[in-house]
Structure 1
Amino acid sequence: MHRQAEKALKEAKAKMAAQVKVLLLGSGDSGKSTILKQMRLIHKVPFSAQETESFRQLVFDNLTRGLKYLLDALPDMGLELPESYTDVDPETGYGSKKGEGGSELDEEGVKGEGIGNDVALVEHAEDLRDGEPFPLRYYGPLSRLWGEEVVRTAWNRGNEAAVPENLHYFFSDLPRLFDPAYVPTEQDIHEMLMVDVGGQKSERRKWIHCFQDVTSILFLVSLSGYDQCLVEDRDANQMQDAMTIWDSICHSQWFKQTSIILFLNKNDLFEKKIKTSDIKSFFPDFDGEPGSALAGRDYFKKRFGRLAQKAGRAKEREIYIHITTATDTELLRVIMAAVEE
């Protein structure tokens, strides 16, 4: 009996030693949830019917909560909604703007009672029940508010208030989402935002010391966060915050022998943003060509690389850096194959 127990224990230890334990870390809004969803797709682990239904409900939540967050941020940007829609249909008296994805669904979905009522409906939006289609009474308010000029101005300045980056994706396709037969596509699932608690500053000290046995760390940073504030602190910069976490990981005694893979994520958003938002405005030591995505990527790769070297452990472990777009399944498949090797 004793020998059998010893044998079983040895086998268990050998099995655990052979396992590759990977820890996924990163600051808030860096794309961790998207990476996890992509890993399931890459490894062909299908989502259950209940998970798909949860995603469908979460898309509606992203629409209503995302727009509410944007509206709540208006005063901090020195903006305010007009008392009535700026583009009014003279025959009906209702706002005629319907955003990029607007269409005449039906009377309930299009007509409204003014901008104040539309805002109130969005601010007090209820969660969907299982199997419940997106209520058509929300279609008109969401479409009209998104089409309002001041709202679009706030969206374009979203970096000032950590506005969800997926709003444009969903609001540009409202008719499809409000179809009673709507089922989230893979791209919808990639784009949706899930509540990310572990990445927020107040949560880090709870988890940073708990993973001393991991084989590798995947550390995610949002490249497009170089000009954005934090959700929980609008005076702090997302990229600077990510560098602070990275520095603490590189210096941590728990990860002294752990290989670290750095994903500079959201490259697609970064390439669009850098054309109009100068890195030098937020990182004065940047001396690359303004508007150059290549120069920007090289700069941040060097910044994170220097922090790793400063930790003084470059000889004890390997650090790899990849440029990623978490919503691009094929790109991530290639990168993850390299990581697994």
Structure 2
Amino acid sequence: MRSVEEMDPISVALAPPQNESPEVRQTRILMERAAKAASDEIDAQLNRERQQAKRLPKAVKILLLGQSESGKSTTLKNFQLMCEPKAFTSERASWRAIIQLNVIRSVRIILDALMAVSATRDFAPTPRSSYSSYASRDSLRPDSELLALRIRLLSVLELEDVLKRRLATPEPECELPPSSVAQISTISTMFRRRTNKEVAVNSSVEWKSAFMRDGVGRQSLDTENGVDWEREDDPGPMLHARCEDMQKLWGHSTVRAILERQGIRLQESPGFFLDELEVVTSLRYAPTDDHILRARLKTLGVSEHRMHLTDPNGAITRELRFFDVGGQRSMRAKWVPYFDDMDAIIFLAPISAFDQTLAEDPSVNRLADSAEIWRSITSNKILEKTNMIIFLNKVDILEVKLASGIRFADHFPNYGRRPNDYDSVSRYIRKHFQAILKQSSPSPRMFYCHLTNVIDTKSTAFVLAGIQDMLMRFHLKESQLIL
């Protein structure tokens, strides 16, 4: 009968080989000692890090919530610009490619809208190009100039696939495991099949390395060195060559009319750069801070971002840990596990979307949806002691809409006959969200509300500085360092 050791698979695996020679045995023993020493060193390093973490102040955990395209990613960039400016600057070369993708996507949306109009009618192109010369809806149709522009801009659309492939398959510094290679292959196939969909990356993928020159890391702050200008598939030269065509397309009166008829508002969308084509398509273009804040890259899943916050006197440093979760309806069920152990929630409500509906459900008004999300999180008992901060965001777009004559009361009848101006509407919305907090909160809490335009770095800096001070005070009070 076999002993317990003989039946134990671990003991069998660790047992020395049979008929082992003295030389092989000596080599094996030396290798085992080296492996154990390495393991012990790793354990000691982990223990030192744990001891050091105990001595450091507790990290401040902040959860960013809001529906899709509410401004969460832009808020994160603003915090990074304030807390980690060197890291922000080092990523300029990567954001150049994303801005190029944004431009190409805008062109694709326009050309798709033109084709949708063409597909509904059987007509020959006309030489007329002025929308004012069309008196009826039926006469809205692409003319010969637009059709010629479309043909010339097809080469620009092909660049989208080039950038998507690079985004899906970043060039690694080391060989990837088979599972990762299979995953990348799947993503690449998805991109090829869904070229008309918005580009999205998984939050766990380090995509920025795909657009950095080999050998240049985050420590480099020079965009000139970060971009491989000589790369054969760099979209820059082609976009520069087609800049005039893209400007003509965007400036064409018929295009503007068709987009308006179809309810497409590119100017209100994140990643809009068509008014700055000459700048963003210039040769050796380097994004500004403003451009990076406005760039749009959709992320899937939950991402964590760590930054360090130092008080004005430089005496106390706190680690800020931001958690950004997807805002699509299908993602909201995944928010709850992150409610526990959060110091603060920053909720973003894009109030300019009062006349828009959800992409996932056209029957739901976007501003009404934001109000319901706010109600659900403020009423959650898990978050009873969590500090709530709300950004009523995109006030710049709200002001433009109201000034253009779009009536808030047409979408929210309870607004009644109040003035249709920015001050009155924003005050009404602010009071509405404040009332929700008062009615829904399990216990009384302060209403920390800011009217924001998070792509405006100057105005947002004041808001974030106030939040920085507030978070510091919250944390110090919790640590009983202040009363």
Normalised-by-shorter TM-score class? 0.7 to 0.9
Q: Cα distance, 1:196 vs. partner?
A: 4.7
The CA distance in 2 between the partners of 1:175 and 1:167, in whole Å, is 19
Structural mapping, 1:92-103, within 5 Å: 95=145
Structural mapping, 1:251-270, within 5 Å: 251-270=379-398
Residue 249 of structure 2 is aligned with which of 121, 138, 145? 145
Q: Cα distance, 1:94 vs. partner?
A: 7.4
Kindly report the root-mean-square deviation, in angstroms, between the aligned alpha carbons of the 2 structures: 3.5
Amino acid at match of 1:241: D
Q: Cα distance, 1:34 vs. partner?
A: 1.0
Residue 117 of structure 1 is aligned with which of 151, 158, 180? 151
Compared CA separation, residues 291 and 71, structure 1 to 2 (3 A): farther
Does structure 2 conserve the Cα–Cα contact (< 8 Å) formed by 1:146 and 1:152? yes
Deviations 1:41-81 (A, max 9, x none): 122422467722221111111111123234445659x9999
TM-score of the aligned structures, taking structure 2 as reference length? 0.57
Compared CA separation, residues 319 and 310, structure 1 to 2 (3 A): same
Amino acid at match of 2:76: L
The CA distance in 2 between the partners of 1:167 and 1:25, in whole Å, is 17
Compared CA separation, residues 231 and 125, structure 1 to 2 (3 A): farther
Q: Cα distance, 1:24 vs. partner?
A: 1.2
Deviations 1:169-209 (A, max 9, x none): 52122122221111111111122122154011111111233
Partner residue, 1:233: 361
Partner residue, 1:337: 465
Question: Percent identical across equivalent pairs?
Answer: 28
Residue 28 of structure 1 is aligned with which of 57, 60, 68? 68
The CA distance in 1 between the partners of 2:433 and 2:284, in whole Å, is 46
The CA distance in 2 between the partners of 1:304 and 1:238, in whole Å, is 14
The answer to which structure has the higher helix fraction is 2
Q: Cα distance, 1:137 vs. partner?
A: 4.7
Residue 182 of structure 1 is aligned with which of 273, 276, 285? 285
The CA distance in 2 between the partners of 1:134 and 1:233, in whole Å, is 40
Does structure 2 conserve the Cα–Cα contact (< 8 Å) formed by 1:274 and 1:292? yes
Matched, 1:60 2:80: no
User: Any stretches of 5+ residues in structure 2 without a counterpart?
Assistant: 1-45, 131-142, 167-210, 212-227, 229-233, 301-325, 471-483
Does structure 1 conserve the Cα–Cα contact (< 8 Å) formed by 2:92 and 2:287? yes
Partner residue, 1:107: none
Matched, 1:304 2:408: no
Partner residue, 1:313: 442
TM-score of the aligned structures, taking structure 1 as reference length? 0.79
Matched, 1:87 2:129: yes
What SS does structure 1 have at the residue aligned with 2:247? helix
Partner residue, 2:313: none
Compared CA separation, residues 63 and 7, structure 1 to 2 (3 A): closer
Q: Cα distance, 1:31 vs. partner?
A: 0.9
User: Any stretches of 5+ residues in structure 1 without a counterpart?
Assistant: 98-112
Structural mapping, 1:145-224, within 5 Å: 145-156=249-260, 160-161=263-264, 163=266, 165-166=268-269, 170-197=273-300, 198-224=326-352
The CA distance in 1 between the partners of 2:335 and 2:395, in whole Å, is 27
Bigger mean CA offset, 115-124 vs 189-198:
115-124
What SS does structure 1 have at the residue aligned with 2:389? strand
What SS does structure 2 have at the residue aligned with 1:145? helix
The CA distance in 2 between the partners of 1:254 and 1:211, in whole Å, is 7
Residue 82 of structure 2 is aligned with which of 42, 53, 66? 42
The CA distance in 2 between the partners of 1:49 and 1:290, in whole Å, is 43
Compared CA separation, residues 329 and 203, structure 1 to 2 (3 A): same
Compared CA separation, residues 156 and 273, structure 1 to 2 (3 A): farther
Deviations 1:63-116 (A, max 9, x none): 11123234445659x99998467439xxxx973x9xxxxxxxxxxxxxxx7144
Higher-Rg member (1/2): 2
Compared CA separation, residues 314 and 269, structure 1 to 2 (3 A): farther
Does structure 2 conserve the Cα–Cα contact (< 8 Å) formed by 1:32 and 1:220? yes
